[in-house]
Structures are given as structure tokens and as C-alpha cells.
Amino acid sequence: MPLLDVASEAAGSNASEARPGGPHVFADRVWRDGEFHRDAWVYAGEGEPLPDAPTILSKSRWLAERERLRERGAPLGLRLEPGERVDDIAADLVRFALIALVFPKFVDGWAFSLARLLRDKYRYSGELRAVGEVLADQIPFMRRVGFDSFEVTHAPTRRALAEGRIVEVSMHYQAAWDGAPAGGKRPWLPGR
Amino acid sequence: MYRYDEFDAEFVRQRVAQFRDQVNRRLSGELSEDEFKPLRLMNGVYLQLHAYMLRIAIPYGTLNSRQMRRLAHIARHYDRGTGHFTTRQNLQFNWPKLVDIPDILEELAEVEMHAIQTSGNCIRNVTADHFAGAADEVADPRPYAEIIRQWSSLHPEFSFLPRKFKVAVTGASRDRAAIQVHDIGLRLKRLGGGLGFAVYVGGGQGRTPILAKLVRDNLPEADLLSYLEAVLRIYNLHGRRDNKYKARIKILVHEIGAAAFAAQVEEEWQRIRDSVLKLPEAEIRRIQAYFAPPAFDTRPHKTSLDASDRDFERWVTRNTCTHRQPGYAIVTISLKPIGGIPGDASAAQMDAVADIAERYSHDEVRVSHEQNLVLPHVRIEHRREVYAALKAARLAEGNAGLATDIIACPGLDYCALANARSIPIAQRLSERLAARQHEIGELKIKISGCINACGHHHVGHIGILGVEKRGEEHYQLLLGGSAAEDSALAAITGPGFGPEGIVDAVEKVVDRYLELRADAAETFLAAYARLGAAPFKEALYAAA
């Protein structure tokens, strides 16, 4: 179930463009390391042959084709929907250069906890991407639990990111993915 | 009490700036109402029937005179002169303008207050025993509530939970914090040579009232945050998001079973318990030091009571309790004047309470979940002066724990969720029962204007639930609930009543109780436990 066809999109213009009947889509829709990027990753449709390019699979497709994909050279990514578990594929996680966690609605915070598990418990060190309804006011929280890239199609959020206008609270009362503990008062805090 | 350090102060300042930006983006149209709603809720801003409502956090119900005066000032300048104290030890203003709210938050920040996480699907303001530090207890629960407050503030992982999440802490065996109707209830206990917690999970009221289950009886205090984090993580991963009414942790615990739930938490907790979340002894003691008892006057005290003033004597009997320090009393300030709005206080009354607390109660005030205020440390000789000062402020009703000490949610007079009005029912019941309340004795009446149960009707000795029936306000009657250590859920008596009929119905139940009680010492709840529902149903529904 491709969210967007990245390959054809990347061939188009860099600016936002409207698809008939669809939302605005952007070629450079991935925010990473402080800027928007044209993204090489392609979502594999169910049942379609995998392109010889970095491809993001569903968990079900990975489980079905795991053995066959062992020989594949091009990078693989994994897309997880709310409620999908990773304990049964823990040993496979190292195979993925990217894991995309879906926020079907911005108020659905399931992925915040799965991100923590991936980073802390499973020591996943690849790219962790927030996809779906990714909005400005959630991005600081996403960063703190371990996301390092964001697929952003919401126009005000894109502007806020591009213009550095996301107002956030830089003081944190809890250690998360983003910092080691400090000594002194409140030892459960990240370094500050 | 706790004082902000530079870190706390800067955190709140940044949070106000962030919220100001969010309000500006809403006002400019950049944020839609759908996008703004979860953001404003996380900072205590509701959109009610007639206006925005701002809910201000009073962490574990403790505040000082300076803070109380600031609340009075906000009531005067930004509201219509009144504040409403809630069942979660918070304060609500019903008439602020959205554009003013960032300024109100700045005023609050100056006195070390905020509105963070007083709503929304996040970890809410942590509540605690309102007699903490004054009553008999294993240890003061507030240092732990403060640690939880800090840890849960803007927690990146737990700010978009399936549903709201409420934590209550008590250090006493007498449960005044209603811990078993919270998502997590913590009861301090001695553990080996130190302290620890009995941890209850999955309680709540609302549409599906459930008492919390004991999931761990012996959690060492050092492991408090790691265990909470494990509970919250399991909930956030597995809690239901398909149905708002099945999204609370109580449903998850109920559906998978308390034992299976506890096992999942245990596995995650074992993984993280020796992490950075381990609370060092020194840090716990540092926070505890903020809550050290005040310098009590230990000179001998006079206990004689001038019995010539019956109202004063009754007030002493009902509204003062034994303090753990000889020579002191805990004073309950009733916010339930006969025929008044439960929990409301005018700006002038808030200022009066601030003055009295400063002079007679070591500068401390508490908010109780029963919508009253508490002066925790009053020297016994000062009861007379305190009473006189309260009387001058029209705050001296001697009805704590009696039939007119009614809990009521804002109901359809204010709340966008309500199906029926609560306040007028409370007012009429108060007027109806006032003359006999001392004869009736302890009786907790709790009224909710909808199934969400903010008025705690499930745990009322007498509970009233407002519903809508064919476009009319209609009220169900429940009997036999309790929020104390003998926690019980009340049962519906039978067919409901109209707005007039419900007042008559409560009176019939009271009449039957007075008729059947063994003696004046047998409370309504005890009589109900002995007699069962049948005689009361008979009084209510048998043909006249």
C-alpha cells in the first residue's frame, strides 16, 4: 500500500504540486539533518516486484519473503503500522537501513513507545523515520524518543521547519534517547 | 513545600512561550481547531459551552498564600471574580479569553504555578492525600508526587497516550486520595528497612467504573520511576485506540487480566530498573527536605472549648481533625455553603484564605478532592480566631463530611460534555437536607452530569448521575459507593427521576436510613452494608 510513489515524484519538480484528487505532495518531503531531502526510498506495493533501489517493505511482506531477500544488495527499509510488534523479528532489525513508524493521526502516540523500544531495547541504529500525520508540535517529542527523519507533507509544518520556527521547550525533566544522564540534582535527567 | 529552582522556572517560562506561539498560530488560522485542540488541552484549555475554560494545576493540592492571592488576582482581572476548585485538586476559571491565557500563564509562572497536563491524553496533574504531612502516615506522599510531576512533565513518550492518565499517592492507611479509582494508585508502606509502594493499576470511574488491581505489593522507592515508565510503556503500546470509551488502562488490564498485565510490566521493568531512572537515596531526601514539617510550637496547649457557641462547636467537631503534632489541628474549610455552588470561591474568599493561612497555618493551604480547602497546621488555641475569620469570609460552614458537603461536577451549566445539570441539584439537596444534616451524620453525596463521572457518583454513599432521556434531564440514583480504604462502587437503585424527583428520592433514602439505623453511630454506609438495597428501593419505588 504505497503512501506515495517516491520514484515518480522525485522525477518531478522540487516544489509542491497537487495531484488530482489528492493532497499536496512534495518531492523533497523528508526532513533530516536540518533540511528537506529528495528521498531515494521507494515504498514497495504489495505483490509488486521490488525495484533495484532502496525499498521500504511492510512487515508482512518481509516475513513472507525474508529468505529470498537475503541475497538482495539494495538497501531495505521496514514500515510498521500501529500495533505491529518487533519482538518476533528482533534478529532481523539489523538488516534494515531504515524503519518507518506510522502516525495515522498525530494524536496516535503508539509509535513514541515503539521508537523507544527500537533504540533502547533492540539497539537499532539505522534511520528511524516518522511518517503519516507528522506535525510541528510533535516533532520535538519525536526527536527525543529516537526519530531522526520525518516525512512531512503538512504545509504549515514544512514552513515552520524550513524557517526554524518550531518553538520548543529545551529543558527536559527526563532522560530519553537524546541525552546521557548528568550527575548532581535530578540524576534521572539527561545531561544539561 | 516545594520551591522551583532555576531549572523549573526556566522550564515553565519556555512552556508559556511555546503555548503563546501555539495560541498565536491558532488565532492566525495556521492551526485548525482540530490541530489546536490536543495542544490547548495539554495546557489545560478547554472549549466549553459558553467560553474557554482554563484548568490550573495545583500539584498534589498544596499551595501557599502567595499563590492563592495570585489565583484571586487572576479571578478578578481575567475572569468574573470566581474560581472553581475541582475533584482533582485543581482550579478552573470558566470565563477567560483565549488571547489572555498566555498572560495568565505568565502570572502563574511568577508564583511557581502552571497549567501543564491538566487535560489531554497525557499524565495528568498528580494528586495526593490532602492531609499529607499533618495526619498519621508512613511518610509524606508529596515528595514522590513531586518527583512524578517532574518526570511526567512534557514526557516525550507519554504525551499522546490512548487516553488520559491519572496518578494518586497516599502515605496513610486511611485513604483520602481515592487511589483505587485512579489509573495508578500508590500507597506508601514500610519495606524492609526503607520505604516502598503498593502499586494499584487500572482503576477509574467514567462509563466503566473499575477498582484498581494490586499489581505489585512491594515496589522499592528507588524503583518508582522505572516501574511507572514500564506501566506507561505497556499501556501506550497495547492500550486500545479504536474506541474512546475502551481506551483507559483499566480496559487493557481488564481485557488481558491483571496477572498477564503485571507480567508484561515486570518484564519491561526488569529491563530498565537499573537504568538512569533509579532514584538515588540522596535525591529522594533532597526533594523530601522541601516538605519538612514546619517549626511547630511545642509548648503545652489548652484544649478547653468554649461550648457556648453551638455553631463554633459543630464546626470544631465536623471541620477539624487530629493533627499528628500535639497542640495542632487540621482544619477543613468548607466550600459548600448551604444552597451554594460546590467548590466555588470568590476572589475575596481566596484572599481571605490566603491571609488566614499565612497567619495561622504556616502559610499552607490544601485543596481536597472533595472540593474543599484545608488549613493543614492550625494551633488549637487559634481555632476560635480562624473560625471568626472564616465566618467573616462566609467560609465557616461546619458541614465537612455531612449531607450538604456535596461533590458536583460543573455539569450542563458549563461543560460541553454534560447531559444534565449538576449544580442546581446540589443546591436544592443542600437546602433540603441542611436542617437535618447533623442528625443524619456522615453522608457523602456525589453528583455527575454525565457518564464521565467527574462528580465521582460511582463512589458516593449516595451517587447521582445525570443523563439525557428524550431531550429531558434525568437522574439515576446510586447507593453504597465509597472512595476510601473500603473502596466500593455504588449500585443503581432502579428507574431514574426528573430534576425535582431526584431531590425527593434522596430525601426518601435518608428518611428510610434514619428510620432503620441501629443507632446514631451507625452511618448511612454502614447501615446500607448491613441492610442491603432492598429497604431503600422499597422506599423509593413502592406505590405510595
pLDDT in tens, B33-89: 999 999 999 999 999 888 899 999 999 999 999 999 999 999 999 999 999 999 999
User: Under an 8 Å CB criterion, which residues of B touch A?
Assistant: 5, 7, 10-11, 14-15, 17-18, 21-22, 25, 30-31, 35, 38-39, 121, 150-162, 225, 233, 236-237, 241, 271-272, 276-280, 283, 286
CATH topology for B6-110 is Sulfite Reductase Hemoprotein; domain 2 (3.90.480)
Q: Which residues of B touch A185 (CB under 8 A)?
A: 5, 7, 283, 286
Chain B residues whose beta carbon lies within 8 Å of the beta carbon of residue A168: 14, 18
The residues of chain B scoring below 70 in pLDDT are 303-307, 543-544
Neighbour-count burial for B50-71, b at 16+ CB within 10 Å, e otherwise: ebbbbbbbbbbbbbbbebbbbb
Chain B contacts in chain A segment 33-62 (CB below 8 A):
none
Tell whether the model's pLDDT for residue A8 goes beyond 50.
Answer: no
How high is the pLDDT of residue A176? 73
Residue B244: per-residue pLDDT: 93
One-letter identity of residue B268: E
Report the C-alpha gap between B109 and B511 in whole angstroms.
50
Whether A173 and B271 lie within 8 Å, measured CB to CB = no
Nearest to B453 by CA among B411, B413, B424: B411
Grade residue A192 by pLDDT with cuts at 50, 70 and 90.
Answer: very low
Mean per-residue pLDDT, A183-188: 54
Q: What is the pLDDT of residue B375?
A: 98
ipTM: 0.93
Which residues 101-130 of A are in CB contact (within 8 Å) with B? 106-110, 112-114, 116-117, 120-121
Percent of chain A with pLDDT over 70: 79
Query: What pLDDT, on the 0 to 100 scale, is given for residue A10?
Result: 32
With cell 481571605, the residue in question is B352
B348 vs B27: CA distance, rounded Å: 33
- Nearest chain A residue (CA) to B239: A110
Q: Give pLDDT tens digits for A76-119.
A: 999 999 999 999 999 999 999 999 999 999 999 999 999 999 99
Residue with cell 474506541: B243
SS3 of residue B91 by DSSP: strand
| Per-residue pLDDT band at A189 (split at 50, 70, 90) | low
Pick the residue from chain B with its C-alpha nearest to A187. Answer: B276
Confidence at residue B312, expressed as pLDDT on a 0 to 100 scale: 95
Residue of A nearest to B29 (CA): A156
Partner residue opposite B18 with nearest CB, options A144, A167, A187: A167
Architecture of domain A6-162: Alpha-Beta Barrel (3.20)
Mode of pairing for the β-strands spanning A127-132 and A149-151: parallel
Interface test with B, best of A87, A101, A154, A167 (most B CBs within 10 A): A167
Return the sign of the alpha-carbon dihedral for residues A5, A7, A8, A12.
positive
Instruction: Among A147, A186, A189, A192, pick the best mutation site for testing chain B contact (most B Cβ within 10 A).
Output: A186
Strands (E), A83-154: 96-103, 127-132, 149-151
Give the confidence band of A187 by pLDDT, cuts at 50, 70, 90: low
State whether CATH 3.30.413.10 applies to domain B134-288: yes
Nearest to B376 by CA among B399, B353, B394: B353
Query: Residue A37 pLDDT > 50, yes or no?
Result: yes
In chain B, residues with a C-beta closer than 8 Å to the C-beta of A114 are 237
β-bridge mates for residue A31, sequence order: A36, A150
The Cα of B233 is separated from the nearest Cα of chain A by a number of Å equal to: 6
B chain contacts of residue A138, beta-carbon cutoff 8 Å: 160
Judge: domain B407-541, CATH 1.20.1250.20: no
Q: Is the pLDDT score of A183 beyond 50?
A: no
Q: What is the pLDDT of residue B49?
A: 87
Q: Give the nearest partner residue to B225 out of A167, A185, A188, using CB atoms.
A: A188
- The dihedrals phi and psi of B497, each to the nearest 5 degrees, come to -135, 160
Give domain B326-392's CATH number out of 1.10.1760.20, 3.20.20.30, 1.10.10.60, 3.90.480.10.
Answer: 3.90.480.10
Of A192 and A142, more confident: A142
Looking at chain B, which residue has its C-alpha nearest residue A186?
A: B283
Q: What's the full length of chain A, in residues?
A: 192
Domains B134-288 and B407-541 alike in fold: yes
Nearest chain B CA: its distance from A143 CA (Å): 9
**Residue boundaries of the structural domains of chain B:** 6-110, 134-288, 326-392, 407-541
